[in-house]
Structure 1
Amino acid sequence: MKKSLAALILFFLILSALGCTGSDGKKEPQISTNQAFSLLKGNLESLIQTNEAKENKSISKWHWNFLTEGVVNSSKRISKALENDPSEEAKILRDVAEKIVTLTSMYSEEINKGKPAEDAPSLLKEIQEDLDKVEEIIRNNQQ
């Protein structure tokens, strides 16, 4: 729990440094697909770890809501920062960001309302497959 909390705090500090948290009245940040890929992959890993902690009953509802709010807000900002990027990987990453928000909502309904997240495993698999596609595209572009 302490390691994952420290990792999440570090993750949000990185997001702040990249301009992905808070608007501060500035124009929307533009980020590369490589950065977006890394951040969304980190968001997914944070969500998975937080969900495991929830299932192990090692975090409260309040902590769950606090931690997942950061994942959702970050994913939405990353998607928005990629809006003007017409590349295939940006399109996939915007979709991944939306799916992470949806998956978080499913898990949140499970903890807050007791509604089982039955579609969560298939959505999680889709997200991981999409991230694998983007990783392959990025790798091919670097060669």
Structure 2
Amino acid sequence: MFKIITFRANTNRRQDFGENPRDNKWLKNQLINLKNRYFPDLEIANNLIIKFGRPAKTRLGSIKHGRRRENPNTIITINGHFQDREIPDFVIDATILHELTHYSQGWFSPHPRQHHYPHQGRAVKNELTDRGLSDILMLSRKWLKRNWREYIKQNHGY
């Protein structure tokens, strides 16, 4: 039986995000809730690790294999800026759902690949729309378009 694993925290990163901090345990709970609600048919076929990564300007999330060659783990990394409570939950949820869609379509998971390229033919957008998530995609895209550039200017060490 495989499971969703909490990644240990990196204590060298900014930690002063106020009460109810977003940490890797919070992120794991978000993933479990979103998976159960929107991907109930998805089998977690290997260990799935989700963690906050380093703060980045352009990459919101990524998915990759762990270091083991046999039965590799899958690691979903979410932008470290998303630990800040200033970033709305729906932006983080949309990013997690995007990466979970890659997992379900066979990218860095034991599932068979459904497409030759990960975004071929709007595969991710179509999958999320089919699962009733077009609203969260639109909200996230609008928020990022209106606010992300200014947020990065203020918080990414310019």
Give the TM-score normalised by the residue count of structure 1: 0.37
- Flag the structure with higher strand content: 2
TM-score with structure 2 setting the length: 0.34
More helix per residue: 1
